[in-house]
C-alpha cells in the first residue's frame, strides 16, 4: 500500500493536484505493479512564508520577482 506525500508551495490549482495524483498513481501502477486503489497520494500545501530556499524565505523572493505568465503556479527558483 504505497503512500506518497507531495509538498508544494500554496497556489496549486485543483486541476494541477488532480493531475499529480493521477500521474503518481499511474507511475506506481506501471513501475511497481500496484493496484490503483491501494495507492494513496497526499498533497500538502505550505505557505511561502514557511518555505525557505537559498538562505531566504520563498515569500520574500516571490514578492521581489516580476509577475510571471503562469502566476497561478508558485515555483521557487533555485
Angle CA(25)–CA(30)–CA(36) in degrees, nearest 5? 40
CA 3 to chain centre: 15
Q: Is 12 in contact with 70 (CB distance < 8 Å)?
A: no
Catalytic residue, candidates 2, 36, 66, 67: 2
Can 47 be counted among the known catalytic residues? Answer: no
Q: Which residues are identified as catalytic? A: 2
Amino acid at each position: 500500500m504505497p503512500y506518497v506525500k507531495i509538498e508544494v508551495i500554496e497556489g496549486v490549482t485543483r486541476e494541477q493536484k488532480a493531475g499529480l495524483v493521477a500521474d503518481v498513481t499511474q507511475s506506481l501502477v506501471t513501475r511497481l505493479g500496484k493496484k490503483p486503489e491501494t495507492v494513496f497520494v497526499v498533497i500538502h500545501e505550505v505557505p511561502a512564508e514557511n518555505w525557505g530556499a537559498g538562505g531566504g524565505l520563498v515569500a520574500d523572493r516571490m514578492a521581489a520577482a516580476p509577475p510571471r505568465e503562469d502566476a497561478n503556479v508558485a515555483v521557487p527558483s533555485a
